[in-house]
Amino acid sequence: MIIHRDCYVRLAYRMHLDSGEVIKGSAAGPAYMDFVVGYREVLPGLENRLLGLREGQEQEFVVPAAEAFGPHNPKQVQEYSRGRFPAEADLRPGGAVTVAHSAIPLAFPYRIVEVREDMVVLDQNHPLVDQDLHYWVQVLEVRPATPEELVIRKQQMPCEGESDFD
């Protein structure tokens, strides 16, 4: 069976940047992921490169930054009142913070760009923005998704016009 929409897929993979920095997996062993194709569970640029592969196949490819986390968005660098942070918070440029009581769960901490007496400047761009992602993948399993797996994915899909990767 080849990878296509509504298939359950399980992968072994390694991912690194142009610099050689390993992000997922290691020389000692790969990382693993599983997902159902077509439900925005993985980056579209990754998913598109997996389409048509078969169980047991290995592949190497690059997902360019534009198809991964995109270019740096200056609108995602914002100022926050110093009063929004606990007095004991260790706020230093280059550090990272997570936002408590966020309406949307955060997948990564925000990078601290600048700390002033009354303001903290945070970069809310994904840490891998502007980065090409180099993948090695091995397809471990491909099968039709079960009706239960499809129901769960369809319930979790964003409403029309929404995107997880804007």
**In the chain, what are the domain boundaries?**
7-69+128-156, 74-123
Looking at the domain that runs over 74-123, which CATH code has it been given? 2.40.10
Cα 110 to Cα 9, 85, 92, 128, distances in angstroms: 31, 13, 12, 12
**pTM of this prediction?**
0.81
Residue 83 half-sphere exposure toward CB, CA atoms < 13 A: 1
CATH class given for the domain over 7-69+128-156: alpha beta
H-state helical runs in 14-128: 44-50
With 70 as the cut, is the pLDDT of residue 160 above it? no
Work out the burial of residue 146: count CB atoms within 10 Å of its CB; fewer than 13 is exposed, 13-18 middle, 19 or more buried: exposed
| pLDDT tens digit sequence for 12-55 | 999 999 999 999 999 899 999 999 999 999 999 999 999 999 99
So what's the pLDDT on residue 9? 98
So what's the pLDDT on residue 148? 92
Rounded to an integer, what distance in angstroms lies between the CA atom of residue 30 and that of residue 64? 21
With 70 as the cut, is the pLDDT of residue 163 above it? no
143: its two tokens: 């099968």
| pLDDT tens digit sequence for 65-117 | 999 999 999 999 999 998 888 888 889 999 998 866 555 556 688 999 999 98
